[in-house]
Every structure is written in C-alpha cells, then in structure tokens.
Amino acid sequence: MKLWRSLFVAASLLAAPLNLAHAQSAPPVKAKNVVLVHGAWADGSSWSEVIPILQAAGLHVTAVQNPLSSLADSVDATRRALAEQDGPTVLVAHSWGGTVISQVGTDPKVTSLVYIAARAPDANEDFVALSKQFPTGPVRAGIVERDGYTTLSEDAFLKYFANGVAPEKAKELYAVQWPTAASIFAGRTTEAAWHTKPSWYAVSKQDDTINPDFERFLAKRMKATTVELDAGHLSLVSHPKEVAKLILQAAGYGQS
C-alpha cells in the first residue's frame, strides 16, 4: 500500500503542468537523496511543506540547519549533511542558501542543483554590486541589525518576506526566524557549481525580497530549467507542490 501511495503522489505531481521556460539537453541522473538548504531569516522548518511530498515519492530528504553565522560555517554545515548521503543527491536552496549550494555543489555526489527564488553567484563575484543593477525589494527597509546580526521586523516579515503565505503560518515563521550575520551577504564563493551541474530555478513573480527580474537574470545566466510561480519569496511554503515537482524533475522523476 505504501509503495502504491508513493507512486501515486509522484505521478500526480509530474502530471501537472509547470510552464518550464527552458529544458535541459539530457535527462537528469536519477537521484536517491535531496539536501535542502534554507536562506536568511529562516530555519530548516521552512521546508516542512515540501519534505513530506518528496518523502512520499521515495526520496531520502535532509534539511540542513544552516547556522547563518558566516558563509564558511554554512558551507561546512551543508558539506557535513552531504557527506552523510548515500548515492546521487539533488542539492536545493532557497534565497541566500543559493550562495551555499553554488559553492558546495561541485561535490561529485551532487547530480543537479535547484534554486528557489535564490541567489546564484559566480565564483568570486561581488554579488551585492550585481544585485544593485535591479530595484531593491521593500523588505530591506525592515532589516534590524544588532551586534553584527540581522533580523526582520515583524511588519516587514509578514508584509514582504512572507507575502502570499497564510497569516497564521507567516506568524509562526516569524517566531522561528534565525538571526543572520550581516557579513554573509557580501561573502564571495570560490566555486560556481552551476557552470558544470544541471540547474533548475523557480522564479517568484510576486517576490518582495529578491527582485523577480533579478531572479530571471540569474536563471537565464545559468541556462537553468526555469518555472515562474505566482508566489512571494516563500514559494516553498505557499506553493509546496510546485516546488516539490521541480525538485522531483531535477531528481530524474519525470520530464516536462
């Protein structure tokens, strides 16, 4: 019964259209595992809506508890999680977590990369300078810094960071937001795994944190298989089925 239920979940997700803007030239490698990396002002629970869908499809899922204290610390945490995986693994990131998977994704276990409204820096790139070529999201006005760490004000979190999320859920996410070192945003990677690994990207069309046109630019630069979701920044919470479907495709569970 469990096997039939898993097959049904995967099949029903893959049958739904996703409006993919680009296609990979070759089928992705079939993966056994998915490692999820959250972004700034969040913790691993931000993936709670996506995880059960991936598990029901038969994938082994690990959500990294990203320390957000420095780029090096976050990279180390993801590498530790990746070292525990047995076999081909899809590496997925939301928001600032895209910086981490761009660095770590060169690991031979990683078969594909998935970016959910995420940063995707090139090696040694000044990503802050690059982002200034696009309008700044209104969430920035709500950043509060203390002792070198940042959080979002409740108003900015609920109105801009979690726009499109049910109010009760948005308040829960606000309560568990993880303080984020101010220094991590300027951190530079030494690798850009998306140059050599197949990549997928979910653009959030209503994003008030990262400009949607900036997301489109990053996806196009990576030549990523791209989907546009009618969602705010936290599409992994408001649109978990669509996000899970994209991850399943990157894991070799179906094609567009």
3-state DSSP assignment of residue 234: coil
Beta-sheet pairing, 89-94 with 110-116: parallel
What pLDDT shows up at residue 39?
98
pTM of this prediction? 0.90
DSSP 165-233: S-HHHHHHHHHTPPPEEGGGGG---S--GGGTS-EEEEEETT-SSS-HHHHHHHHHHHT-EEEEES--S
Each residue's pLDDT tens digit in the chain (256 positions)? 433 444 444 444 444 444 455 445 578 899 999 999 999 999 999 999 999 999 999 999 999 999 999 999 999 999 999 999 999 999 999 999 999 999 999 999 999 999 999 999 999 999 999 999 999 999 999 999 999 999 999 999 999 999 999 999 999 999 999 999 999 999 999 999 999 999 999 999 999 999 999 999 999 999 999 999 999 999 999 999 999 999 999 999 975 4
pLDDT of residue 220: 98
The neighbouring-strand residues paired with 143 are 152
Count Cβ atoms below 10 Å from residue 189 Cβ, excluding itself.
22
CA dist 19 and 100 (Å) reads: 27
Query: Edge to edge, what strands does the sheet with 180-181 contain?
Result: 143-146, 149-152, 180-181
Residue 27: the pLDDT is 83
Given a contact cutoff of 8 angstroms between Cβ atoms, the answer to whether 252 and 50 are in contact is: no
Q: Specify the pLDDT at position 26.
A: 74
The pLDDT score that the predictor gives to residue 256 is 43
Helix (H), strand (E), coil (C) string for 48-93: CCCHHHHHHCCCEEEEECCCCCCHHHHHHHHHHHHHCCCCCEEEEE
pLDDT for the residue 1: 41
Q: Which one, of 219, 249, 239, 58, lies nearest residue 163 by Cα?
A: 239
Look up residue 161 and give its amino acid: F
> Residue 24: its pLDDT value, please?
52
The closest alpha carbon to 36, from 50, 56, 18, belongs to 50
